[in-house]
Chains A and B, each alone.
Chain A
Amino acid sequence: MDIFQSVLYGFQVAMQPLNLIYCFFGVLIGTLVGVLPGLGPAAAIALLLPTTFKATPVSGVIMLAGIYYGAMYGGSTTSILVNIPGEAASVVTCIDGYQMARKGRAGPALGISAFGSFIAGTISVIALTLVGPLLAGIALRFGPPEFFSLMIVGIMVLTFLSSGSMLKALMMAAVGLTLGGAGMDSISGKYRFTFNIQALLDGVGLVPVVMGLFGIAEVIENLETEIKREILTAKIKNLLPNLKDWAESIWAIIRGTILGFFLGIIPGGGAIVASFASYAIEKKVSKHPEEFGKGAIAGVAGPEAANNAAAGSSFIPLLTLGIPSNAVMAIFLGALMIHGLQPGPLLMTRAPDIFWGTIVSMYIGNGMLLVLNLPLIPLWVMVLRVPYYLLYPLILLFCMIGAYSIGNNTADVIIMLIFGIVGYLLRKFRYDAPPLVLALVLGGELESSLRQSLMLSRGDFSIFVTRPITLGFLIVALLLLIVPIITQRKKLSALEESP
């Protein structure tokens, strides 16, 4: 099948009425999740995953994808109106978006972020359509050593980009790998790290862990301090940006799209990094950098475009290589596996309906979001007024039901609650959870590719340095480890020299 035919086939799948409905619900729930602070796309996908069990895999995956890119749209609304990021990728949007709102320009700010998101989302999906098959073709030639080194790069990038200390992020990755080892070893059939606990025989499930770390932990943290929100009560008008707004933001959108697209592909990159990078670039290239922080529209348009482009392109490594590039994609990988699909280079040929149907549904979903978002903004503002004392019991209930319905047993619920406490403590002790999740997901594959590589080479580690692609990946991983150590040394010595 050439690309044109494939896309056409994708449209046939995505345009089926049931899939359209799932796509619609996906983007709607995604926007809602994006709007609500304290519930990110990772937790939302995890806790809505059980609701897709009754659906066909295609419909389920289309909906879950919709939640992710829908959340990127919704996040900006909260940032602009309340100055609290609805989800992490919208942190930067707060800076100029809220300032625009305070100057009575909430309308254009919301408008440009919706249009920017649409443009970036669409371009990114087009690029995904073109690059995906190409990459899958290359990946078909990958053997265990290549996959092993690629996964190592993924983990290294995520720890490199983590918000806190890289050392602690690496520790989390090690813990995640170990947790991933719990349960039965697929090669020897031995049970590992189960400590005679019945619930651990099947291993630590990804979904309860993620719901605990991102859902429950978030609620517990929010209970600690009362969130005070001030919502702009002024009427929002002029959602359509004027010509001057467009002139100021169109290049920001294009730059944000390109940047976001490439950062999304890199394992460990993703929407959050893309939005920060875009803001930094826009401030640098702007003719009026002094306006940034005081309501520059380019400071809203660029990052919003970047996070949507990254949301689209982060599907590339997952769908073509089977490697999730961030925590959300890690859950997505788990979701695909629960639906009986193995993401990777073979997905395109084995399940073309999933591959092309999902990609094409993103074109449709992006269109829906644009149409949905502008008129529904008053509704989202209303949602923001739901008080937290009502919201958190609901989030908790959803998590409990979600965890229970994975396998209809309470063991998963208990595991989720325990990881909720763990996640809260990790936040308190300043450890990042995403590397743990990524390592937990990749753990099984990482281990089997390592063991297969060593069997292939009869125990000779040189297999990792004699194959060019593997060597290339490992050099990148090593650089990611060394660069921060060197820069830190320099900083320290500079500090010591200065009186």
Chain B
Amino acid sequence: MGKVDRISGIFWLCFAVLMIIQSYRLGLGTLHKPGPGFLFFWVNIVLGIMSLVVLIRAWVGKKGEGAQPAIFGRQNIPKIIFVLISLFLYALLMETVGFIPVTLLLFIFLLGIIEKKRWYYTAFVSIVVTVISYLIFETWLQSQLPKGLLGFLRF
């Protein structure tokens, strides 16, 4: 557990310290009239102490441990990163480009490029999914998905 806990322990310790400073600036108030930072100041002091315990345990327990397995499996990390990038782009482009084109692009990317399916399979599934999801969410549930570039079409 050593490496895992050392990294996460340091992260949470920094998080707690940042939040303690923030809460202190917000004002702790008095016990009669607790301020907006009161609860979070104390909660994050406890969080800070707990992260220290995790860190200390990780350091003390370090001795005698053999080779530690890597935190992340190697083979599929690029795939995860590509999928995440495509999702962020989807979110950012959704309103300007519109739901229909961006969903089509997402599926073509995920199925055709990431999963390497044949082009006609990719095209077929992408179109079907886009149309059906549009019908369900826009036409039936009236979710008001962004129209974007296709805003001139009235459907």
Contacts and interface: CB of A to CB of B under 8 A. Distances in A.
Contacts of B37: 192
B69 to A, nearest CB: 11
B32 to A, nearest CB: 4
Given A177-B43, A190-B36, A405-B143, A224 B73 contact: yes
B110 A400 contact: no
Interface in B83-97: 83-84, 87-88, 90-92, 94-95
Contact of B50 (A170, A187, A397, A405): A170
A188 B36 contact: yes
A383 B54 CA distance: 43
A190 B32 contact: no
B22 A450 contact: no
Contact of A429 (B33, B71, B80, B94): B71
A397 B115 contact: no
Contacts of A450: 34, 39
A192 B26 contact: yes
The interface residues of chain B, by DSSP majority, are classed as helix
B19 A178 contact: yes
Interface string B52-73: 0110000000000000000111
A370 to B, nearest CB: 28
Nearest to A453: B34
The interface residues of chain A, by DSSP majority, are classed as helix
Contacts of A225: 73, 76
Contact of B15 (A175, A216, A400): A175
B40 interface: yes
A397 B111 contact: no
Contact of A405 (B4, B5, B84, B144): B144
Interface string B16-28: 1001001100110
Contacts of A216: 87
Given A225-B76, A428-B72, A397 B117 contact: no
B51 A454 contact: no
22 contacts: A51-B143, A171-B54, A174-B50, A175-B15, A178-B43, A188-B35, A192-B37, A193-B19, A193-B40, A224-B73, A393-B107, A393-B129, A396-B110, A397-B103, A401-B143, A404-B145, A408-B144, A413-B91, A446-B39, A450-B39, A459-B30, A459-B33
Interface of B: 1, 4-5, 7-8, 12, 15-16, 19, 22-23, 26-27, 30-40, 43-44, 46-47, 50-51, 53-54, 71-73, 76-77, 79-80, 83-84, 87-88, 90-92, 94-95, 103, 106-107, 110-111, 115, 117, 125, 129, 133, 137, 141-146
- The 6 A-B pairs with the shortest beta carbon distances in the complex, nearest first, are A459-B31, A459-B32, A174-B47, A185-B36, A413-B91, A405-B143
Interface of A: 50-51, 54, 167-168, 170-171, 174-175, 177-178, 181, 185, 187-188, 190, 192-193, 216, 220, 223-225, 389-390, 392-394, 396-397, 400-401, 404-405, 408, 410, 413-414, 417, 420-421, 428-431, 446-447, 450-451, 454-455, 458-461
